[in-house]
Amino acid sequence: MKRLEVAQRGAEVLDRKRQALLREQRRVRAEAEQARAEWQKAAAQVALWSVRAAFLDGPGRLELLARHVQDPAAIDVSWSNLMGARLPAAQTVVLPELPLVSALGGSTAAAFLARACSDGTRAAARAAAADRAETEIAAELGRTARRLRALRQRWIPQHERALAQLDLVLDETQREEAVHARRRTRRHLGDQP
């Protein structure tokens, strides 16, 4: 009886968790779609300015300009736990300072390309974090749904059958005891004058 109550309570808790994860999945999915759209827009700008800069400056000069970037980019990712799902968030994207492209002999298109690359890198980091968050929530939702299904389809019915079987055994035992008690009573009453 106690195990059945625990299983039913567990199913209720898992169902509430599943509902909360579904709500969170909708929110994270919307954020991921927006982040992907921003990244695609930024990538289109990079492609546009890459073509223009390559035409005006040539690939050799763009390579030389790129070598003036001193430091690598860095992304500070924070992780949070939401009902078992580890969700990343791109807290900060640290990009190296852009070189003065025009002072180095680059065209205005090269300067716009450098800015577009910075914006694209930030957008890519946000999109990657949002995609990972969406994947993590989907995975936790799948695990929760499997556990809930196992409880509802196997664990709870198994305990309900065991409880029903126990009730039958107890009823049968009580009937047998009642029959024995009546026999003893009849014998006891039959022995008296």
In a domain, 173, yes or no: no
Rounded to whole angstroms, the Cα distance separating 12 from 15 reads 5
8 within 8 A of 156, measured Cβ to Cβ: yes
The domain of 100 spans: 25-137
- pLDDT of 33: 97
- pLDDT of 161: 87
In a domain, 8, yes or no: no
In a domain, 40, yes or no: yes
- pLDDT of 193: 53
Per DSSP, the three-state class of 68 is coil
In a domain, 4, yes or no: no
List of the chain residues with pLDDT < 70: 103, 190-193
The one-letter code for the residue type at 164 is: A
In a domain, 42, yes or no: yes
Per DSSP, the three-state class of 82 is strand
In a domain, 132, yes or no: yes
Per DSSP, the three-state class of 75 is strand
The one-letter code for the residue type at 99 is: P
SS3 sequence of 97-148: CCCCCCCCCCCHHHHHHHHHHHHHHHHHHHHHHHHHHHHHHHHHHHHHHHHH
| Cα 160 from chain centre | 33
